[in-house]
């Protein structure tokens, strides 16, 4: 599969209903040869975004001005953080520090919840 420089498919934003249990992995669907994203919460403090990557899809190396937490919901991913590879599987979470280059590659089809947390002290 070709490298993905940007998201190929963005589903409409969806709010998680209050006071109800949901399975986050059911809130975003796989698409052949694509990376699908769906934002489920956004505020000044950060965002929560669901992603579904087809096997072999990737996001090229980039940085973010705030910490990002990858919670793998399904499948397996290889993250490269500051040049070091980190593999994670369903049920595992990885912190990607602010201002450190990172990349994402789907080892298998995988889904994740990406939590971007803004430091109120940072500018």
104 within some domain: yes
**Both tokens assigned to 55:** 């096997």
**Both tokens assigned to 47:** 């965002």
CATH number for the domain spanning 80: value is 2.60.120.10
Sign of the alpha-carbon dihedral angle for 39, 40, 42, 46 = negative
Q: pLDDT tens for residues 92-121?
A: 999 999 999 999 999 999 999 999 998 777
**Higher per-residue pLDDT: 13 or 74:** 74
CA angle in degrees (0–180, nearest 5) for 32-36-39: 165
93 within some domain: yes
According to the model, what pLDDT value does residue 121 have? 73
Question: Domain residues for 67?
Answer: 9-15+25-117
42 within some domain: yes
66 within some domain: yes
Q: pLDDT tens for residues 66-78?
A: 999 999 999 999 9
pLDDT (mean) for 38-62 = 95
What gap in Å lies between CA 20 and CA 29, rounded to an integer?
20
2 within some domain: no
Please tell me the pTM assigned to this model: 0.87
Residue 21: partners with Cβ closer than 8 Å, 6 or more residues away:
none
pLDDT (mean) for 23-29 = 95
56 within some domain: yes
């Amino acid at each position: 599969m070709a490298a993905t420089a940007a998201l190929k498919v963005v589903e409409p934003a969806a709010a998680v209903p209050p006071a109800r249990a949901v399975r986050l992995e059911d809130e975003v669907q796989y698409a052949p040869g694509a990376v699908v994203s769906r934002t489920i919460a956004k505020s000044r403090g950060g965002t929560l975004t669901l992603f579904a990557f087809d096997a072999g899809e990737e996001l090229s190396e980039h940085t973010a001005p705030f910490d990002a937490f990858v919670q793998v919901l399904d499948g397996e991913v290889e993250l490269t953080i500051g040049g070091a590879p980190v593999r994670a599987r369903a049920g595992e979470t990885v912190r990607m520090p602010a201002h450190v280059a990172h990349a994402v590659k789907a080892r298998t089809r995988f889904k994740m919840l990406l939590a971007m947390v803004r430091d109120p002290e940072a500018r």
